Amino acid sequence: MDFAQYIRSISTATTTILEGMAVTFSHLFREPITTQYPDRIDRPVVETLPPRYRGFLEVQMDICTGCKRCERSCPIECIAIDLQKNPTTKKQEMTRFDIDMGKCMYCGLCVEACKIESTGAIRHTREFEGATDTFGTLTFRFIPTGAQTIYKAPKDLAEIPLGAYGPHAREARERAMRDNPVILGLLRDIWLKDNKGKKKGKKGAVATVNPNKALIIKADVVAKAPKGKTNAFAMLLETLTAQTDCGACGYPTCREYTDAMAGGADMDVSKCEPGGAESTADLGYAMDVYWKGSEEADKIAFGGNVAAALTASPAAAPAAAAPIHAAAETSTAAAT
């Protein structure tokens, strides 16, 4: 490259950069068009949405008949209604009407069922703002305390006193944001206390490890994370959890939970709620192999007769267990 060509390349590069930045620089002298939500808007966004917008559900409790049509029509069971007879009046009352808006798919089937066959007490609103750092705050409780008298619908549905759309949803949302985190925290503490040390899965079933998966877990623990290799064992245990970092175990992350188990600080293997019975069984077996030895672990899990357990187990189980074996192999190799 001669000197003239070198100068031309510098000139070309400078020109193209300036051309590309010209548009950017031009915006420095223009009025911004971005609207800062929600501080600098002339009109609330809720008011700009169409009337039939499917936002948060709300229930006008004073016209609810407690027929449970909405609960039965919900395909994902995000509505929960409880009824009980008042011992004094001998009449049915509602003690619970909860809607999990974090689970709701806004299909509108409950609204149609109530509108066509009942009083229209449940309906979609134009409310949509539910940003939160606690998922449980999206459960709206329309009967916060006590019981709600059941409304008796008139023969002429035009006489039903329908109220404005929105205030019931806003009230339920504010109440959920304020009260639910405390209630959920207390319930979680009670659950952890009641289930501490129990190897229980979902629906109270005793957790049992799959024999085919047990062979893989045992081989990994013995070969790659023998007793004393705490870090490698913690990484192997992490592959047996749900790895959601949900905090249900009482630790910020799954890894911190498995670190505590590998170090002997926490021997409770039933804290992984998302993993359910499978994680509880797998973690329990791995812990037994690590702390008590392979023979004792097999005796606890299968009564010592692993061959019989393998014969009775489904043939498809090894294929399901293979990804866990691969994940454990990768993680323990990194640890060593």
Q: Are residues 218 and 310 in the same domain?
A: yes
What digits encode the pLDDT tens for the residues 55-83? 999 999 999 999 999 999 999 999 999 99
Half-sphere exposure of 77 (CA within 13 A, CB side): 0
Note whether residue 73 is domain-resident: yes
**C-beta of residue 141 within 8 angstroms of C-beta of residue 97:** yes
Note whether residue 28 is domain-resident: no
Note whether residue 51 is domain-resident: no
- Separation between Cα atoms, residue 26 and residue 28, nearest integer Å: 5
**C-beta of residue 127 within 8 angstroms of C-beta of residue 91:** no
- Separation between Cα atoms, residue 241 and residue 239, nearest integer Å: 6
Note whether residue 94 is domain-resident: yes
Spatial CB neighbours of 203, under 8 Å, sequence gap ≥ 6: none
pLDDT band at 308 (very low <50, low <70, confident <90, very high): low
133 vs 304, residue with greater confidence: 133
- Separation between Cα atoms, residue 65 and residue 52, nearest integer Å: 23
What digits encode the pLDDT tens for the residues 242-256? 888 877 888 988 999
User: Residue 4 pLDDT more than 90?
Assistant: no
Q: Provide φ and ψ at 96, rounded to 5°.
A: -155, 135
pTM: 0.51
pLDDT number for residue 128: 93
Measure the CA angle with vertex 93, ends 54 and 122; round to 5°.
10
Q: What is the full DSSP assignment across 263-300? A: TTS-------TTTHHHHHHHHHHHHHHHHH-HHHHHHH
pLDDT number for residue 259: 93
Q: Are residues 72 and 173 in the same domain?
A: yes
Q: Are residues 137 and 255 in the same domain?
A: no
Measure the CA angle with vertex 169, ends 166 and 174; round to 5°.
125
203 vs 7, residue with greater confidence: 7
Q: Residue 305: how many CB atoms within 10 A of its CB?
A: 12
- Among 113, 133, 132, residue whose Cα is nearest residue 121: 113
Note whether residue 249 is domain-resident: yes
106-110: long-range contacts at Cβ-Cβ below 8 A with a sequence spacing of 24 or more?
106/54, 106/55, 107/75, 108/54, 109/73, 109/74, 109/75, 110/57, 110/69, 110/70, 110/71, 110/73, 110/74, 110/79
CATH number at residue 126: 3.30.70.3270
Average confidence (pLDDT) over 143-149: 90
Measure Cα distances from 13 to 5, 17, 24 in Å. Answer: 12, 6, 17
Structural domain for 136, as ranges: 57-157+164-179
What digits encode the pLDDT tens for the residues 79-100? 999 999 888 988 889 999 999 9
Measure Cα distances from 127 to 25, 108, 168, 171 in Å. Answer: 39, 15, 10, 11
pLDDT band at 212 (very low <50, low <70, confident <90, very high): confident
Q: Are residues 144 and 231 in the same domain?
A: no
- The mean of the pLDDT values for the chain is 84
pLDDT band at 328 (very low <50, low <70, confident <90, very high): very low
- Separation between Cα atoms, residue 46 and residue 127, nearest integer Å: 6
What digits encode the pLDDT tens for the residues 32-52? 777 777 767 778 888 889 989
Q: What is residue 1's DSSP assignment?
A: -
Q: Could you give the percent of the chain with pLDDT greater than 90?
A: 45
pLDDT number for residue 203: 45
**C-beta of residue 123 within 8 angstroms of C-beta of residue 58:** yes
Q: Are residues 209 and 323 in the same domain?
A: yes
The tally of domains found in the chain comes to: 2
**C-beta of residue 152 within 8 angstroms of C-beta of residue 65:** yes
Average confidence (pLDDT) over 179-186: 86
